[in-house]
Structure 1
Amino acid sequence: MEHKEYKKRNKGGRPKKETAEKLSYRIGVKMAAADYFCLLTRAHEAGISPSEYMRECFRNGHVRERLSEEHAGYIRQLCGMANNLNQLARKANAGGFHDEQWDCKVAVARIHELLTKIGI
């Protein structure tokens, strides 16, 4: 009886992957030097390993690069501005729209500026 309880006990660690999630097949690919260095460069720019880059290309036909620190900063600023706009809208609804008109225009102009920097 004690032996069965011991097997049921959680030993900790990462749960086992499903068969479909395991990376169990290996394919060798020969490349020219220029192609190989191009692969390394693109994988580095995307912030992932060359193997993961090739898997993404196969799955999606393209690879999206990770957000740079600069873009992540812009997105954080946008989140803060969205919060400020919500507060201004609440104030405007409570006290009248005329008082908050200038603040809203400034916030919208800054949001537009950040969106152009990000490239959206």
Structure 2
Amino acid sequence: MRTIKNRNIGGRPPKAPAEKKGYKITIKMDTEEYYTLKAKARDAGINRSEFIRLCIRSSVVKQHLTSEQMGYIRQLSGMANNVNQVAHKANAAGYSDVHRQCLSLNERLDNVIKKIEDDC
């Protein structure tokens, strides 16, 4: 009787450790999200897992605003209020009376905008 040596000669070669997917996650979706995922994966011609992997690789997530950036936004909001007050005064009293105030406010706005641009 002959014994068969190396039974697994044919078939798929084993994957290298770097190619193996070692982690499994579970996510919860509502019905609409699930069917949207299913349809988009089908339209792309890939399975759902590969679709999610592609989304993860190609997506860009914006970071939350820092407290410093939030402070700049609050300053800009306050300055916008000042601009409205100056416009109201200009309409009531005449533009020549508020010219100096406009220049000062414009300089403050430029400084805050430069700070924001430097942070980005």
Query: Normalised by the size of structure 1, how large is the TM-score?
Result: 0.53
Match of 2:107, SS state, is helix
Give the deviation of 1:63 after TM superposition. Answer: 1.7
Alignment of 1:9-88 (within 5 A): 18-21=30-33, 58=56, 61-88=59-86
* Identical-residue share of aligned pairs (%): 44
Change (3 A) 1:117 1:60: farther
| 1:59 to partner: Cα distance | 8.5
| RMSD (CA atoms) | 3.2
**Equivalent in the alignment of 2:94:** 96
Q: Which runs of 4+ in 1 moved over 2 A?
A: 57-61
Higher relative contact order (CA 8 A, sep 6+): 2
Are the structure 2 counterparts of residues 115 and 95 from structure 1 closer, same or farther at C-alpha, using a change threshold of 3 Å? same
| Structure 1: 5+ residue stretches without partners | 1-16, 28-53
| Matched residues, number | 77
Structure ID, larger Rg? 2
1:51-93: per-residue Cα shift (whole Å, max 9, x none)? xxx99x6386312111000000010010000000111011001
Q: What amino acid does structure 2 have at the position aligned with 1:81? A: M
In structure 1, what is the Cα distance between the partners aligned to 2:92 and 2:71? 32
Aligned CA distance change for structure 1 residues 68 and 103 (closer, same or farther; 3 Å) = same
Distance in 1 of aligned mates of 2:81 and 2:58: 35
Unaligned 5+ residue runs, structure 2? 1-28, 35-48
